[in-house]
Amino acid sequence: MSDEPEKNPRVLIVAENASLKFGGEATKPYLFFKFFRQRGMDVRLLVHSRCRAELEAAFPQELDRIYFIPDTVGHKLLWQVGKRMPAKVDDQTLGFVRHQITQALQRRIAKDLVAKHDIDVVHEPTPISPKQVSMMFDLGAPVVIGPLCGGMDYPPAFQYMQSAFARNLERAGRAVSQIFHEALPGKLKAGALVVANDRTKLALPRGCRGRLYDMPESGVELKSYPPIDYAARTDDGVVRFVYLGRLVDWKAVDLLIDAFKGVADHHPTARLDVLGDGPELDPVRRRAKELMLPEDRVSFAGWVNKTTGMERLRAADVFVLPSLRECGGNALLEAMAVGLPCIATNWGGPGKYLDETCGIRVEPSTRDGFVAGLTAAMLRLAESPELRRSMGAAARRRLSEHYFTWESKVARMLEIYRDTIEFERSGAVPGAPAHLAA
Protein backbone atom coordinates (compact mmCIF):
# COMPACT_ATOMS: atom_id res chain seq x y z
CA MET A 1 0.00 0.00 0.00
CA SER A 2 1.31 3.47 -0.93
CA ASP A 3 2.13 5.92 1.86
CA GLU A 4 1.46 8.89 -0.46
CA PRO A 5 -1.51 11.09 0.51
CA GLU A 6 -4.67 10.55 -1.46
CA LYS A 7 -4.84 12.94 -4.41
CA ASN A 8 -7.66 15.47 -4.38
CA PRO A 9 -10.06 15.28 -7.33
CA ARG A 10 -10.41 18.01 -9.93
CA VAL A 11 -13.85 19.54 -9.43
CA LEU A 12 -16.21 21.74 -11.44
CA ILE A 13 -18.99 23.43 -9.41
CA VAL A 14 -22.01 24.43 -11.51
CA ALA A 15 -24.75 26.70 -10.16
CA GLU A 16 -26.91 29.54 -11.41
CA ASN A 17 -25.77 31.89 -8.63
CA ALA A 18 -22.84 31.92 -6.22
CA SER A 19 -23.21 34.89 -3.91
CA LEU A 20 -23.21 35.89 -0.27
CA LYS A 21 -25.10 39.07 -1.18
CA PHE A 22 -28.01 37.13 -2.68
CA GLY A 23 -28.17 34.97 0.44
CA GLY A 24 -30.12 31.73 0.74
CA GLU A 25 -29.06 28.86 -1.47
CA ALA A 26 -26.78 31.11 -3.54
CA THR A 27 -24.30 31.07 -0.63
CA LYS A 28 -23.70 27.33 -0.97
CA PRO A 29 -21.71 27.17 -4.25
CA TYR A 30 -19.82 30.30 -3.14
CA LEU A 31 -18.76 28.64 0.13
CA PHE A 32 -17.93 25.26 -1.42
CA PHE A 33 -15.64 27.05 -3.89
CA LYS A 34 -14.08 29.18 -1.13
CA PHE A 35 -13.34 26.31 1.24
CA PHE A 36 -12.08 23.93 -1.43
CA ARG A 37 -9.67 26.58 -2.72
CA GLN A 38 -8.49 27.14 0.86
CA ARG A 39 -7.63 23.45 0.86
CA GLY A 40 -5.59 23.98 -2.30
CA MET A 41 -7.92 21.87 -4.42
CA ASP A 42 -8.18 22.17 -8.19
CA VAL A 43 -11.76 23.46 -8.28
CA ARG A 44 -13.56 25.62 -10.85
CA LEU A 45 -16.85 27.50 -10.73
CA LEU A 46 -19.43 28.07 -13.50
CA VAL A 47 -22.20 30.59 -12.74
CA HIS A 48 -24.36 33.36 -14.24
CA SER A 49 -22.70 36.70 -15.01
CA ARG A 50 -24.92 38.52 -12.48
CA CYS A 51 -22.45 37.22 -9.86
CA ARG A 52 -19.38 38.55 -11.68
CA ALA A 53 -18.72 41.75 -9.71
CA GLU A 54 -18.97 40.06 -6.31
CA LEU A 55 -16.86 37.05 -7.28
CA GLU A 56 -14.17 39.14 -8.94
CA ALA A 57 -13.91 41.27 -5.79
CA ALA A 58 -13.92 38.25 -3.46
CA PHE A 59 -11.53 36.01 -5.42
CA PRO A 60 -9.17 38.29 -7.40
CA GLN A 61 -6.50 35.58 -7.57
CA GLU A 62 -8.95 32.93 -8.81
CA LEU A 63 -10.41 34.59 -11.90
CA ASP A 64 -8.93 31.99 -14.24
CA ARG A 65 -11.04 29.39 -12.39
CA ILE A 66 -14.41 31.17 -12.60
CA TYR A 67 -16.58 31.09 -15.72
CA PHE A 68 -19.70 33.12 -16.42
CA ILE A 69 -22.88 32.52 -18.42
CA PRO A 70 -23.93 35.73 -20.20
CA ASP A 71 -27.25 37.44 -19.53
CA THR A 72 -28.94 36.68 -22.84
CA VAL A 73 -31.77 38.50 -24.60
CA GLY A 74 -34.03 35.63 -23.51
CA HIS A 75 -33.06 36.10 -19.87
CA LYS A 76 -33.75 39.84 -20.03
CA LEU A 77 -37.09 39.55 -21.83
CA LEU A 78 -38.42 36.89 -19.44
CA TRP A 79 -37.22 38.91 -16.45
CA GLN A 80 -39.02 42.03 -17.69
CA VAL A 81 -42.27 40.07 -18.04
CA GLY A 82 -41.80 38.16 -14.80
CA LYS A 83 -41.30 41.20 -12.59
CA ARG A 84 -44.91 42.19 -13.37
CA MET A 85 -46.14 38.92 -11.91
CA PRO A 86 -46.43 37.79 -8.26
CA ALA A 87 -42.98 36.60 -7.16
CA LYS A 88 -44.07 33.02 -6.47
CA VAL A 89 -45.87 32.73 -9.83
CA ASP A 90 -42.86 34.14 -11.67
CA ASP A 91 -40.52 31.78 -9.82
CA GLN A 92 -42.51 28.69 -10.79
CA THR A 93 -43.15 29.70 -14.41
CA LEU A 94 -40.87 32.18 -16.16
CA GLY A 95 -38.21 31.75 -13.49
CA PHE A 96 -38.12 28.06 -14.36
CA VAL A 97 -37.65 28.92 -18.05
CA ARG A 98 -34.87 31.41 -17.27
CA HIS A 99 -33.10 28.75 -15.24
CA GLN A 100 -33.33 26.26 -18.10
CA ILE A 101 -31.78 28.77 -20.48
CA THR A 102 -28.90 29.15 -18.04
CA GLN A 103 -28.62 25.38 -17.62
CA ALA A 104 -28.52 24.76 -21.38
CA LEU A 105 -25.64 27.20 -21.76
CA GLN A 106 -23.88 25.78 -18.69
CA ARG A 107 -24.18 22.22 -19.92
CA ARG A 108 -22.38 23.03 -23.16
CA ILE A 109 -19.59 24.91 -21.38
CA ALA A 110 -19.33 22.27 -18.62
CA LYS A 111 -18.71 19.52 -21.18
CA ASP A 112 -15.90 21.58 -22.70
CA LEU A 113 -14.36 22.31 -19.29
CA VAL A 114 -14.51 18.64 -18.26
CA ALA A 115 -12.59 17.67 -21.40
CA LYS A 116 -10.14 20.60 -21.33
CA HIS A 117 -9.21 20.38 -17.64
CA ASP A 118 -9.63 16.64 -17.12
CA ILE A 119 -12.33 17.23 -14.48
CA ASP A 120 -12.94 14.23 -12.20
CA VAL A 121 -16.35 15.20 -10.82
CA VAL A 122 -19.01 17.87 -11.46
CA HIS A 123 -20.89 19.20 -8.42
CA GLU A 124 -24.28 20.92 -8.73
CA PRO A 125 -25.16 22.23 -5.22
CA THR A 126 -28.20 24.26 -6.34
CA PRO A 127 -31.14 24.47 -6.89
CA ILE A 128 -31.76 22.70 -3.60
CA SER A 129 -35.31 21.62 -4.47
CA PRO A 130 -35.57 17.86 -5.17
CA LYS A 131 -38.26 18.51 -7.81
CA GLN A 132 -36.15 20.96 -9.84
CA VAL A 133 -34.76 19.33 -12.99
CA SER A 134 -31.09 19.27 -13.93
CA MET A 135 -29.37 19.32 -17.32
CA MET A 136 -26.06 18.25 -15.81
CA PHE A 137 -25.77 14.79 -17.36
CA ASP A 138 -23.49 13.04 -19.88
CA LEU A 139 -20.73 15.57 -19.24
CA GLY A 140 -17.81 13.16 -19.36
CA ALA A 141 -17.48 13.05 -15.56
CA PRO A 142 -19.79 11.80 -12.80
CA VAL A 143 -22.15 14.37 -11.28
CA VAL A 144 -22.87 14.96 -7.58
CA ILE A 145 -26.08 16.89 -6.82
CA GLY A 146 -26.92 18.50 -3.48
CA PRO A 147 -27.28 18.79 -0.58
CA LEU A 148 -30.94 18.92 -1.57
CA CYS A 149 -33.62 20.10 0.82
CA GLY A 150 -37.37 20.08 0.26
CA GLY A 151 -40.42 17.89 0.08
CA MET A 152 -41.68 19.21 3.40
CA ASP A 153 -45.35 19.04 4.44
CA TYR A 154 -47.07 20.36 7.54
CA PRO A 155 -47.37 17.98 10.51
CA PRO A 156 -50.69 16.07 10.36
CA ALA A 157 -52.24 18.19 13.11
CA PHE A 158 -51.49 21.38 11.14
CA GLN A 159 -52.60 20.36 7.66
CA TYR A 160 -55.41 22.92 8.00
CA MET A 161 -52.82 25.70 7.52
CA GLN A 162 -52.58 24.80 3.85
CA SER A 163 -55.73 24.93 1.73
CA ALA A 164 -56.91 21.83 -0.10
CA PHE A 165 -56.35 23.70 -3.36
CA ALA A 166 -52.75 24.51 -2.42
CA ARG A 167 -52.08 20.92 -1.33
CA ASN A 168 -53.51 19.51 -4.54
CA LEU A 169 -51.60 22.04 -6.63
CA GLU A 170 -48.37 21.10 -4.87
CA ARG A 171 -49.00 17.39 -5.39
CA ALA A 172 -49.79 18.01 -9.06
CA GLY A 173 -46.56 19.99 -9.40
CA ARG A 174 -44.54 17.12 -7.96
CA ALA A 175 -46.25 14.68 -10.31
CA VAL A 176 -45.65 16.86 -13.37
CA SER A 177 -42.02 17.34 -12.37
CA GLN A 178 -41.48 13.61 -12.92
CA ILE A 179 -42.16 14.12 -16.63
CA PHE A 180 -39.59 16.90 -16.79
CA HIS A 181 -37.04 14.77 -14.92
CA GLU A 182 -37.35 12.05 -17.53
CA ALA A 183 -36.86 14.59 -20.33
CA LEU A 184 -33.96 16.31 -18.55
CA PRO A 185 -32.50 13.42 -16.51
CA GLY A 186 -29.71 15.10 -14.56
CA LYS A 187 -30.97 13.81 -11.23
CA LEU A 188 -31.83 10.39 -12.65
CA LYS A 189 -28.32 9.96 -14.07
CA ALA A 190 -26.39 11.61 -11.24
CA GLY A 191 -23.61 9.55 -9.70
CA ALA A 192 -24.59 10.76 -6.23
CA LEU A 193 -27.49 12.63 -4.65
CA VAL A 194 -26.98 14.29 -1.26
CA VAL A 195 -30.19 14.83 0.74
CA ALA A 196 -30.82 16.80 3.92
CA ASN A 197 -33.36 14.42 5.47
CA ASP A 198 -35.70 11.51 4.85
CA ARG A 199 -38.51 13.73 3.54
CA THR A 200 -36.22 15.12 0.87
CA LYS A 201 -35.19 11.59 -0.02
CA LEU A 202 -38.85 10.65 -0.52
CA ALA A 203 -39.35 13.72 -2.74
CA LEU A 204 -36.65 12.67 -5.22
CA PRO A 205 -37.89 11.73 -8.71
CA ARG A 206 -38.50 8.07 -9.41
CA GLY A 207 -35.68 6.32 -11.19
CA CYS A 208 -32.64 7.93 -9.54
CA ARG A 209 -29.72 5.53 -9.94
CA GLY A 210 -26.98 7.30 -8.04
CA ARG A 211 -25.82 6.63 -4.53
CA LEU A 212 -27.63 8.54 -1.78
CA TYR A 213 -25.86 10.42 0.99
CA ASP A 214 -27.29 12.17 4.01
CA MET A 215 -25.95 15.63 4.93
CA PRO A 216 -27.66 18.80 6.22
CA GLU A 217 -28.26 21.49 3.62
CA SER A 218 -27.58 24.39 6.00
CA GLY A 219 -24.27 25.20 7.65
CA VAL A 220 -22.26 27.85 9.50
CA GLU A 221 -18.63 28.95 9.38
CA LEU A 222 -17.86 28.32 13.03
CA LYS A 223 -14.97 30.77 13.39
CA SER A 224 -17.37 33.59 12.48
CA TYR A 225 -19.45 32.84 15.59
CA PRO A 226 -17.36 33.26 18.76
CA PRO A 227 -19.15 31.60 21.68
CA ILE A 228 -20.92 33.53 24.40
CA ASP A 229 -18.71 34.09 27.45
CA TYR A 230 -21.24 33.23 30.13
CA ALA A 231 -18.73 33.87 32.91
CA ALA A 232 -18.40 37.51 31.85
CA ARG A 233 -22.15 38.14 31.80
CA THR A 234 -23.82 40.27 34.44
CA ASP A 235 -26.96 38.55 35.70
CA ASP A 236 -29.76 41.12 35.74
CA GLY A 237 -32.38 38.47 36.50
CA VAL A 238 -34.05 38.76 33.08
CA VAL A 239 -34.40 35.61 30.97
CA ARG A 240 -34.40 36.60 27.30
CA PHE A 241 -36.01 34.37 24.69
CA VAL A 242 -35.40 35.30 21.07
CA TYR A 243 -36.87 34.40 17.68
CA LEU A 244 -34.96 35.37 14.53
CA GLY A 245 -36.40 34.81 11.06
CA ARG A 246 -39.07 35.70 8.57
CA LEU A 247 -42.58 36.30 9.85
CA VAL A 248 -44.68 34.04 7.65
CA ASP A 249 -47.55 31.78 8.68
CA TRP A 250 -45.64 28.50 8.63
CA LYS A 251 -43.05 29.88 11.07
CA ALA A 252 -45.91 29.82 13.65
CA VAL A 253 -44.77 32.88 15.58
CA ASP A 254 -48.42 33.45 16.53
CA LEU A 255 -48.30 30.17 18.44
CA LEU A 256 -45.05 31.27 20.07
CA ILE A 257 -46.85 34.40 21.32
CA ASP A 258 -49.63 32.22 22.74
CA ALA A 259 -47.07 30.00 24.42
CA PHE A 260 -45.16 32.92 25.87
CA LYS A 261 -48.32 34.16 27.59
CA GLY A 262 -48.07 31.11 29.85
CA VAL A 263 -44.40 31.86 30.49
CA ALA A 264 -45.04 35.52 31.33
CA ASP A 265 -47.79 34.54 33.77
CA HIS A 266 -45.43 32.25 35.73
CA HIS A 267 -42.03 33.89 35.32
CA PRO A 268 -42.02 37.63 36.12
CA THR A 269 -38.73 38.49 34.39
CA ALA A 270 -39.06 36.46 31.17
CA ARG A 271 -38.91 38.46 27.94
CA LEU A 272 -39.45 37.55 24.28
CA ASP A 273 -37.74 39.43 21.43
CA VAL A 274 -39.08 38.80 17.93
CA LEU A 275 -36.56 39.75 15.24
CA GLY A 276 -37.70 39.74 11.65
CA ASP A 277 -40.21 41.09 9.17
CA GLY A 278 -42.88 39.67 6.93
CA PRO A 279 -46.63 39.52 6.31
CA GLU A 280 -47.33 38.14 9.78
CA LEU A 281 -45.67 41.00 11.67
CA ASP A 282 -48.86 43.01 12.22
CA PRO A 283 -51.01 39.95 13.06
CA VAL A 284 -48.56 38.71 15.72
CA ARG A 285 -48.32 42.22 17.17
CA ARG A 286 -52.10 42.29 17.44
CA ARG A 287 -52.07 38.87 19.07
CA ALA A 288 -49.65 40.09 21.73
CA LYS A 289 -51.99 43.00 22.49
CA GLU A 290 -55.02 40.70 22.65
CA LEU A 291 -53.17 38.65 25.25
CA MET A 292 -52.30 41.87 27.13
CA LEU A 293 -48.58 41.22 26.92
CA PRO A 294 -46.86 44.58 27.59
CA GLU A 295 -44.08 45.90 25.38
CA ASP A 296 -41.51 45.35 28.10
CA ARG A 297 -42.29 41.62 27.93
CA VAL A 298 -42.62 41.13 24.14
CA SER A 299 -40.82 43.33 21.59
CA PHE A 300 -40.93 43.35 17.79
CA ALA A 301 -37.76 44.73 16.21
CA GLY A 302 -38.74 44.19 12.58
CA TRP A 303 -35.99 43.47 10.06
CA VAL A 304 -32.45 43.53 11.45
CA ASN A 305 -29.16 43.21 9.59
CA LYS A 306 -26.83 40.29 10.21
CA THR A 307 -24.57 42.20 12.59
CA THR A 308 -27.49 43.33 14.75
CA GLY A 309 -29.04 39.89 14.61
CA MET A 310 -25.84 38.31 15.92
CA GLU A 311 -25.60 40.91 18.69
CA ARG A 312 -29.15 40.15 19.78
CA LEU A 313 -28.51 36.39 19.69
CA ARG A 314 -25.42 36.80 21.87
CA ALA A 315 -27.41 38.88 24.36
CA ALA A 316 -30.18 36.26 24.61
CA ASP A 317 -30.56 33.24 26.88
CA VAL A 318 -32.65 30.88 24.72
CA PHE A 319 -33.44 30.69 21.00
CA VAL A 320 -36.93 29.52 19.98
CA LEU A 321 -37.94 28.31 16.51
CA PRO A 322 -41.60 27.16 16.41
CA SER A 323 -41.60 26.61 12.63
CA LEU A 324 -43.98 23.94 11.31
CA ARG A 325 -42.51 23.48 7.83
CA GLU A 326 -38.78 24.04 8.16
CA CYS A 327 -36.64 21.83 5.97
CA GLY A 328 -33.44 23.62 6.99
CA GLY A 329 -33.13 26.34 9.61
CA ASN A 330 -29.95 28.37 9.32
CA ALA A 331 -30.96 30.75 12.13
CA LEU A 332 -31.13 27.76 14.45
CA LEU A 333 -27.58 26.77 13.52
CA GLU A 334 -26.40 30.34 14.12
CA ALA A 335 -27.94 30.27 17.58
CA MET A 336 -26.25 26.93 18.30
CA ALA A 337 -22.95 28.33 17.00
CA VAL A 338 -22.89 31.17 19.55
CA GLY A 339 -23.75 28.70 22.32
CA LEU A 340 -27.46 29.22 22.92
CA PRO A 341 -29.75 26.45 24.12
CA CYS A 342 -32.60 26.07 21.65
CA ILE A 343 -36.27 25.13 21.57
CA ALA A 344 -37.67 23.95 18.25
CA THR A 345 -40.40 21.92 16.64
CA ASN A 346 -39.61 18.22 16.36
CA TRP A 347 -40.34 18.25 12.63
CA GLY A 348 -38.16 18.66 9.55
CA GLY A 349 -34.67 20.13 9.81
CA PRO A 350 -34.87 21.51 13.38
CA GLY A 351 -35.96 18.13 14.70
CA LYS A 352 -32.80 16.66 13.23
CA TYR A 353 -30.44 19.48 14.13
CA LEU A 354 -31.18 19.37 17.86
CA ASP A 355 -30.90 16.53 20.33
CA GLU A 356 -31.62 16.31 24.05
CA THR A 357 -28.12 17.51 24.98
CA CYS A 358 -28.44 20.94 23.38
CA GLY A 359 -32.13 21.79 23.25
CA ILE A 360 -35.73 20.82 23.68
CA ARG A 361 -37.79 19.49 20.76
CA VAL A 362 -41.53 20.05 21.01
CA GLU A 363 -43.89 17.59 19.34
CA PRO A 364 -46.44 19.21 16.99
CA SER A 365 -49.08 16.63 17.99
CA THR A 366 -52.03 19.03 18.32
CA ARG A 367 -52.31 22.81 18.24
CA ASP A 368 -53.03 23.10 21.97
CA GLY A 369 -50.48 20.44 22.82
CA PHE A 370 -47.82 22.21 20.78
CA VAL A 371 -48.47 25.56 22.49
CA ALA A 372 -48.39 23.89 25.91
CA GLY A 373 -45.16 22.11 24.98
CA LEU A 374 -43.49 25.38 23.98
CA THR A 375 -44.60 26.96 27.27
CA ALA A 376 -43.26 24.04 29.31
CA ALA A 377 -39.93 24.07 27.46
CA MET A 378 -39.47 27.82 27.97
CA LEU A 379 -40.32 27.60 31.65
CA ARG A 380 -37.93 24.69 32.16
CA LEU A 381 -35.04 26.69 30.71
CA ALA A 382 -36.10 29.94 32.36
CA GLU A 383 -35.83 28.31 35.77
CA SER A 384 -32.41 26.70 35.28
CA PRO A 385 -29.36 28.82 34.36
CA GLU A 386 -27.20 25.71 34.74
CA LEU A 387 -29.24 23.80 32.16
CA ARG A 388 -29.09 26.75 29.77
CA ARG A 389 -25.31 26.88 29.99
CA SER A 390 -24.77 23.13 29.60
CA MET A 391 -27.10 22.95 26.62
CA GLY A 392 -25.47 25.99 25.03
CA ALA A 393 -22.02 24.41 25.26
CA ALA A 394 -23.36 21.14 23.85
CA ALA A 395 -25.04 22.98 20.96
CA ARG A 396 -21.75 24.34 19.70
CA ARG A 397 -20.05 20.94 20.00
CA ARG A 398 -22.85 19.23 18.09
CA LEU A 399 -22.31 21.45 15.06
CA SER A 400 -18.86 20.10 14.27
CA GLU A 401 -19.82 16.50 14.92
CA HIS A 402 -22.75 16.32 12.47
CA TYR A 403 -21.73 18.25 9.32
CA PHE A 404 -23.41 21.49 10.40
CA THR A 405 -20.25 23.58 9.96
CA TRP A 406 -18.79 24.44 6.59
CA GLU A 407 -15.47 23.10 7.72
CA SER A 408 -16.98 19.65 8.30
CA LYS A 409 -19.33 19.85 5.31
CA VAL A 410 -16.56 20.33 2.76
CA ALA A 411 -14.57 17.48 4.31
CA ARG A 412 -17.60 15.21 3.95
CA MET A 413 -18.28 16.40 0.41
CA LEU A 414 -14.71 15.56 -0.53
CA GLU A 415 -15.34 12.01 0.72
CA ILE A 416 -18.49 11.86 -1.42
CA TYR A 417 -16.56 13.05 -4.49
CA ARG A 418 -13.95 10.33 -4.03
CA ASP A 419 -16.57 7.67 -3.40
CA THR A 420 -18.51 8.72 -6.51
CA ILE A 421 -15.40 8.73 -8.71
CA GLU A 422 -14.34 5.30 -7.42
CA PHE A 423 -17.82 3.89 -7.96
CA GLU A 424 -17.91 5.29 -11.51
CA ARG A 425 -14.48 3.91 -12.37
CA SER A 426 -15.38 0.50 -10.98
CA GLY A 427 -17.79 0.08 -13.87
CA ALA A 428 -20.69 -0.78 -11.54
CA VAL A 429 -24.00 -1.05 -13.34
CA PRO A 430 -26.41 1.75 -12.31
CA GLY A 431 -29.51 0.52 -10.59
CA ALA A 432 -31.09 0.98 -7.20
CA PRO A 433 -29.14 3.33 -4.90
CA ALA A 434 -26.19 1.45 -3.48
CA HIS A 435 -26.51 2.85 0.02
CA LEU A 436 -27.57 5.74 2.15
CA ALA A 437 -24.45 6.99 3.90
CA ALA A 438 -24.86 8.78 7.25
According to CATH, the topology of domain 11-219+405-437 is Rossmann fold (3.40.50)
Domain with CATH 3.40.50.2000 in the chain: 11-219+405-437, 222-401
Distance in angstroms (rounded) separating the CA atoms of residues 149 and 214: 11
Enumerate the β-bridge partners of residue 240: 271
Determine whether 387 is exposed, middle or buried from the number of CB atoms within 10 Å of its CB (0-12, 13-18, 19+): middle
Q: Report pLDDT digits (tens) over 370-420.
A: 999 999 999 999 999 999 999 999 998 898 777 889 988 999 999 999 999
Q: How far is CA 58 from CA 33, 70, 318, 410, in A?
A: 11, 20, 35, 19
pLDDT per residue as tens, the chain (438 positions): 444 556 899 999 999 999 999 888 999 999 999 999 999 999 999 999 999 999 999 999 999 999 999 888 877 887 777 777 776 666 667 777 888 889 999 999 999 999 999 999 999 999 998 988 999 999 999 999 999 988 778 888 898 887 776 666 666 666 678 888 888 899 999 999 999 888 888 889 999 989 999 998 888 988 889 899 888 888 888 999 999 999 999 999 999 999 999 999 999 899 999 999 999 999 999 999 999 999 899 999 999 998 899 999 999 999 999 999 888 888 999 999 999 999 999 998 898 899 999 999 999 999 999 999 999 999 999 999 999 999 999 998 898 777 889 988 999 999 999 999 998 888 764 444 444 444
> What are the two backbone dihedrals, phi and then psi, of residue 22, each rounded to the nearest 5 degrees?
-70, -30
Looking at residue 131, its pLDDT comes to: 87
Half-sphere exposure of 322 (CA within 13 A, CB side): 29
Q: What is the CATH number of domain 222-401?
A: 3.40.50.2000
Compute how many other C-beta atoms are within 10 angstroms of the C-beta atom of residue 274.
Answer: 25
CB < 8 Å & 24+ apart, contacts of 126-131? 126/15, 126/16, 126/17, 126/25, 126/26, 126/28, 126/29, 127/16, 127/25, 127/99, 128/25, 128/28, 128/217, 130/187, 130/195, 130/200, 130/203, 130/204, 130/205, 131/173, 131/174, 131/177, 131/203, 131/205
